[in-house]
Structure 1
Amino acid sequence: MTVVGIGADGWEGVPDASRAALLDAQVVIGGPRQLALLPPGCGAERVTWPSPLRPAVPGVLAAHAGRRIAVLASGDPMFYGIGRALTEVLGPGSVHVLPHPSSVSLACARLGWPLEDVEVVTLVGRPTARLAAALHHGRRLLVLSADATTPADVAALLRDRGFGPSRIRVLEQLGGAGERTAEAVTADDWPVPYPPGDPLNVVAVDCRRAPGALRVGAVPGLPDAAYEHDGQLTKRHVRAATLGVLAPAPGELLWDVGGGSGSVAVEWMRAHPSCRAVSVERDPGRAARITRNADRLGVPGLRVVTGTAPGVLAGLDRPDAVFIGGGLTEPGLLDACWQALPAGGRLVANTVTLESEALLADAHRRYGGELVRLAVTHAVPVGGFTGWRQAMPVTQWAAEKPSAPA
């Protein structure tokens, strides 16, 4: 199978090797927009991908087995394109990819932005809220748009998250005869209502944080004010220490048991775009609050499960790490979490009560690991002077599950 990239410039921009593959094919599969770019001389049967696309891939390929197949894709098929699905289904050795310059490469060329200095966020089939995790003062972003309404959605999110001074440019039909780059405008000055332009567009954002807006950094330990909470919040300094021990790595899954406000799960997912988390919270009001916090801080993919652990843990995907921030006295909870971990998995549990502390001491005796006490003291006014006020100390048990004995 050959996968051919095509741009907005259509057949004129397709190089000879890609043209030869399309002309030789008996079947060309693609989206309606890509297929419409083929000339009449390309006589292969044209098949449109159904929606939703991903589940349909095996069936569509099976229906044309034994025929010479070419798949037509937009730009670079291996950059947020159909190439990934095809290589996962067929194996990389069975797919020959002939890429076209991606919209990101073309946008950087037009803007004069070094590609390696730009962060790309796709909103194709994804919520706009995920853009919030990439907002940092001075950074340049390229947003892959879902449709003509995406630029206005981006501008609204920037204003809402304290990045109204950010400069936005919309680049449409890159590489095609109808290519157009709009004049830069700040999110604060974005026209409302915005007249939608071409649905094939990329949004360039030069991030600028508004004066006085809350600074949300790239490492664990975000300000407590970044979260909506009712007091059930792992506070900033303890949270930073907790995430340091949990040690999130790309692609890993966290169970956040006793989610409270969801701060540990949120910052786990902010560590890398591929990090995943499930936050378990028995109180429906707090569960809804976790969802709002995740959305606000750019990780709308955080899954929230409402219910009491350990019962609701059954059926969840196996975690790489578990954080227990509440509910330690539930019978069997700690052991159920430990048993769910694979070899090398990490469990971290925090508590401020003597009853739960006794359980952690017992777990330390049985499973090993490290038992520490974290104490944070804040300077506060004392009359006309300043003194120290100590927060409740937090007992933390952290352990890594060893490999099974040979």
Structure 2
Amino acid sequence: MADPWLTIVGLGEDGPDGLSAASLRAIEEAEAIVGAPRHLSLLPASRAERIEWPVPFADGLPVLLRLRGRRVVALASGDPFWHGAGSVIARALSPAEWTALPAPSCFSLAASRLGWALDETTCLALHASPFARLVPHLHEGARLLVTLRDGAAVDGLARWLAEAGVGESRVHVLEALGGPRERVRRFIASSGAPADVVHPVLVAVEVSGAAGLALAPGRPDTTFANDGQITKAPVRALTLAALAPRPGETLWDIGAGSGSVALEWLLCHPSMTAAAVEARPDRAARIEENARALGQDRLHVALGRAPEALEGLPEPQAVFVGGGLDERLLDHLEARLSPGTRLVANAVTLETEALVTQAQARLGGQLLRIDLSEPQPLGRFRGWKAAYPVVQWSVTL
């Protein structure tokens, strides 16, 4: 078997001084070296052709593939397979074509400077993602390590933390870790960041003042802006249990209303995706607002009525119909969905209840009637006021 033509070398801020003998040998023997301008500038002169990796990152893959047949080094920051370029490059090549020589990641270096247990710390890359992705992680006492786009983004993060109600959080700014320019400073988020932060930068946050989102589905209705069209919290908890979310899966939330079911689905695991289908433009806009507020930018909102609005959506592993189920939509779902897809439908009207009852007799699955009551004033006292019962049908097609 031929040797790999590509070596992915993890490079720290100390340049070649911190590299292993194997990494130095790969760079010395390379005919071409591909990397960001900052990485290339850290290397001493050599005979190798130097090629700057273009922006956006995806544009560099064709450049790299055209170098097949030569001995090539691709430079990456620290550990190329922790929020790095390594996995993207590896997916574009066969296993026999590449090898990797990692260096310590910026997360490992930060943990070693702060004395934090890395296995108890949340590590996030927010170079091109909204700060709101931090929302699910804002729990009292949580420790976060976050890489950012540049030095200016540190003050933006500090302002965002203050607006999110955790302005008393302690923030550590770690610049150019592992190199001669390394610097570690600390401040309280509400006081604002230093003005002279330089790239590359990582921020460590010790969260203070946050109650945080509950971890279990069935979060309070007030978590989601809504006009009353929302699957209520107890029913939502039962609905998510029936949908049985698993990492990496996709949900269709049809008749999404406020998007609460789709958003609770996404909050289960960061690898999950969802599409919320909603016919009313005002509600679709509200769903997008809820997604932004909860940091769930993996939600796709499809404006329109099902089944037409389902065209072009990624294949789901689970489908929830919270409103608008009729024979036409059910027939479409039966014909469209792959075997093994989990389907859950909640019925409130007698007509929809009759439809799911007939469907259960034909296709199987489980029927569950949900009757909820809450205390309401009754003269000088209180009595139980029943909500409309919900009949839930869940089936694996």
What TM bracket, shorter-length normalisation?
over 0.9
Q: Deviations over 1:221-275 (max 9, x none)?
A: 1111111100011111111110011011111000011110000110111100000
Equivalence for 2:204: 204
Report the alpha carbon displacement of residue 342 of structure 1 after superposing the two structures with TM. Answer: 2.1
Equivalence for 1:86: 89
Q: Deviations over 1:118-152 (max 9, x none)?
A: 01111122222212122222211111112223222
Equivalence for 1:172: 175
Normalised to the residue count of structure 1, the TM-score between the two structures is 0.93
Report the alpha carbon displacement of residue 384 of structure 1 after superposing the two structures with TM. Answer: 4.0
For 1:277-292, what aligned pairs fall within 5 Å after superposition? 277-292=274-289
Equivalence for 1:156: 159
Alignment of 1:385 with 2:381, yes or no, is: yes
Q: Deviations over 1:33-57 (max 9, x none)?
A: 11111111x3210111122222540
Any unmatched runs of 5+ in structure 1?
402-406
Instruction: Specify which of 188, 191, 195 is matched with residue 189 of structure 1.
Output: 191
Alignment of 1:341 with 2:337, yes or no, is: yes
CA separation in 2, counterparts of 1:101 and 1:256?
A: 42
Q: What percentage of residue pairs aligned between the two structures are identical?
A: 46
The question of whether the paired residues in 1 share the 8 Å contact of 2:130 and 2:295 is answered with no
Instruction: Specify which of 227, 245, 258 is matched with residue 248 of structure 1.
Output: 245
The question of whether the paired residues in 2 share the 8 Å contact of 1:121 and 1:142 is answered with yes
Q: Deviations over 1:370-393 (max 9, x none)?
A: 111112222334344333222221
The question of whether the paired residues in 1 share the 8 Å contact of 2:136 and 2:213 is answered with no
Normalised to the residue count of structure 2, the TM-score between the two structures is 0.95
The question of whether the paired residues in 2 share the 8 Å contact of 1:216 and 1:223 is answered with no
Equivalence for 1:50: 54
Q: Deviations over 1:153-182 (max 9, x none)?
A: 322332333322222111111111111111
Q: Which moved more, 1:228-237 or 1:331-340?
A: 331-340
CA separation in 2, counterparts of 1:386 and 1:155?
A: 47
Equivalence for 1:69: 72
Alignment of 1:366 with 2:362, yes or no, is: yes
Amino acid at match of 2:366: E
The question of whether the paired residues in 2 share the 8 Å contact of 1:136 and 1:217 is answered with no
Any unmatched runs of 5+ in structure 2?
1-5
The question of whether the paired residues in 2 share the 8 Å contact of 1:30 and 1:49 is answered with yes
Q: Deviations over 1:95-140 (max 9, x none)?
A: 2110010000000001110000001111122222212122222211
The question of whether the paired residues in 2 share the 8 Å contact of 1:50 and 1:56 is answered with yes
CA separation in 2, counterparts of 1:255 and 1:349?
A: 12
Equivalence for 2:231: 234
CA separation in 1, counterparts of 2:332 and 2:202?
A: 47
Q: Which moved more, 1:77-86 or 1:89-98?
A: 89-98
Amino acid at match of 2:17: E
Report the alpha carbon displacement of residue 341 of structure 1 after superposing the two structures with TM. Answer: 2.5
